[in-house]
Structure 1
Amino acid sequence: MADNPSDPKYSMGGLLGMLTTQPAQEPDNPLARALGLIPAKPSLPVSPLGAAGDLFPYATMPRTNPPNNLTGLASVDLFQPFGSLAPPRLPVAPLKAPVKRKAFFSFHYDDIMRVNVVRNAWKIDHPDNALMRSFQDSSLWESRKLEGDEAVKRLIREGVEYTSAVCVLIGTDTWVRRWVRYEIARAIVDGRGLLGVHLNSIRHHHTKTAHTRGYNPLDFMAVGKVQEDIWTQARYCLFEKQAWPNGIGGYRWAWNRYSDYTSSVTLPPWLADPAAGYVTPLSQYATVYDYIADDGHKNIGSWIDKAAQGAGR
């Protein structure tokens, strides 16, 4: 039976109350410890998310009803999904020499004018990069009349299939778009590189001004480790962050199984391995750039090449 995200026991107050109760212990004696008269205190293992994030330790949960949907894990701030406790980035292997790449550009069609700035820079030979480049992008299905969701998924699968990396071009509302999330999911499913590029620093073609950044869509997608019980092997699945009723008339963020792809996935080599019952948001390890501030016209080719190499492409 799945956990109910509205159950009061999963409120932050109830959970933190249980987690902050400390066991009784003898007072410390630093002098005796320094003289070796009493043993040093052993260091305790630390949850990947710290005490505030350690909401579902499997050791304290009934074996017959593990929290395999991770509901309630993300009742935290939108801009810092895991506060200041995000783990350090994984060690980066030395990059190989740049090679010819084919990229898939994922975006919200309302941002098409800014997207074209990026696509035009990618299509041409830049003086600093003599490699011929090509791309597929979201317009391959946006521009057609399709019969149902499966037709959209099929075109996205075909578009991503022969590319090295998925580059998410981030505008104001990109983070809420269903098919952008599916394109991100395909990067994980198909073992492609993944990166994001903010577009709103590019001057709008009408107002001639930059716009406020939109939320990073990679904050809302994650890979989680699911283990039904201690006797079964853990597997990796895709999760997305959604707003759920909090039981008192409002909403809270919660990680839930991604409904548009429910099969197991392989953990990408560039993503940290989460503990069983936890997720690793893609934004913690996939690099995100700003097209203007980071000089995307010159550098986007190297960004995509770096993401592709990180995925072993």
Structure 2
Amino acid sequence: MTSAYFSYHFAQDAVRASAARRVMGLEADEPISPVAWEELGYGGENAVTRWVAERMRGKDCVVVFVGAQTSLRKWVKYEIKEAWESGRGIIGIDVHQLLDNRGKPGKPGKNPFEQFAYGGVNLSTIIKVHQPLGDTQEERLAHIAANAPIWAANAVAARRVPVA
């Protein structure tokens, strides 16, 4: 089973990310609680970078849940950079159509991988942001459940092939 680290805009997309990660069939750590995330921030940047490193250790891939403001988040950018530089597979999953705690979908966000280039190649041309198909929350989650293990395995395998 592929192991994953999950990256997302915590304040805005935690409920959407939680719904998606529950059905994905990937091995992962338990999500951090809102209180623990806030307390971690009090420790400063070094505390957060250590926490990210500990959580990423041993993970095959990083799953970036893309919402309205994901591409603007400092720690998401850091996690993408760390994942790429450490050779992990990376996938994006657009979660803006999943429902928040008020039962509302979000707004689409920019592709967070467009901000990165390595060897003259923009990561948005390498890393796919998957769009869950379906008209309802249940259909979108079923699409994620059926495909996420394949998406993650393909991303891990792709990192074993040298990028031009």
**TM-score category (smaller protein):** 0.7 to 0.9
Instruction: Give the direction of change, closer, same or farther, for the CA distance of 1:196–1:137 in structure 2 (3 Å limit).
Output: farther
- Taking structure 2 as the reference length, the TM-score comes to 0.81
- Cα distance, 1:291 vs. partner? 2.7
Q: CA deviation at 1:122?
A: 2.5
Match of 1:299 among 135, 147, 156: 147
Identify the residue that residue 281 of structure 1 maps to in structure 2: 122
With over 3 angstroms needed to count, the CA separation of the structure-2 counterparts of 1:311 and 1:101, relative to structure 1, is: same
Number of the residue aligned with 1:158: 54
**Partner secondary structure for residue 28 of structure 2:** strand
Larger relative contact order (Cα-Cα within 8 Å, sequence gap ≥ 6): 2
Of all paired residues, the percent bearing the same amino acid is 25
Residue identity matched to 2:131: D
User: In the TM superposition, what is the alpha-carbon distance from 1:157 to its structure 2 partner?
Assistant: 1.3
Map residues 126-141 of structure 1 onto 2, 5 A cutoff: 133-136=26-29, 139=32
Asked if 2 retains the 8 angstrom alpha-carbon contact of 1:197 and 1:289, the reply is yes
Q: Distance in 1 between matches of 2:31 and 2:81?
A: 14
Corresponding residue of 1:214: 109
Q: Alpha-carbon deviation of 1:184? A: 0.3
Whole-angstrom CA distance in 2 between matches of 1:181 and 1:285? 16
Question: Which stretches in structure 1 are left out of the alignment for 5+ residues?
Answer: 1-99, 124-132, 224-273
Which residues in structure 2 correspond to 1:1-313 (within 5 Å)? 100-109=1-10, 110-122=12-24, 133-136=26-29, 139=32, 142=37, 144-145=39-40, 146-206=42-102, 208-223=103-118, 274=119, 279-293=120-134, 295-312=143-160
Contact kept, 8 Å, 2:13 with 2:100, in 1: the verdict is no
Give how far 1:142 is off: 2.4
Please give the alpha-carbon distance, in whole angstroms, between the structure 2 residues aligned to 1:292 and 1:170: 15
Task: Check whether the contact 2:2–2:27 (CA below 8 A) recurs between aligned residues.
Answer: yes
Amino acid at match of 2:95: L
Deviation at 1:211, TM superposition (A): 2.8
CA distance in 2, matches of 1:122, 1:167: 10
For 1:177 and 1:156, how far apart are their aligned partners in 2?
14
Write the letter of the residue equivalent to 2:53.
R
Residue of structure 2 equivalent to 1:48 = none
Is the Cα contact below 8 Å between 1:193 and 1:308 reproduced in 2?
yes
Query: How high is the TM-score relative to the length of structure 1?
Result: 0.44
Conserved? CA contact 1:201–1:290, under 8 Å: no
Change (3 A) 1:187 1:171: same
Structure 1 pair 200–137 and aligned structure 2 pair: CA distance change class (3 A): farther
Letter aligned with residue 28 of structure 2: F
For structure 2, the residue ranges without an aligned partner over 5 or more in a row are: 135-139
Tell me the SS of whatever aligns to 1:212.
Answer: coil
Judge conservation of contact 1:104–1:137 (CA < 8 Å) in 2: no
Deviation at 1:297, TM superposition (A): 2.2
CA contact (8 A) 2:4 2:27 kept: yes
* Contact residue 17 and residue 95 of structure 2 kept, 8 A: yes
Q: Which amino acid aligns with 1:204?
A: D
**Does the 8 Å contact 2:24/2:144 carry over to 1?**
no
Residue 137 (structure 1) shift? 7.4
More helix by share: 2
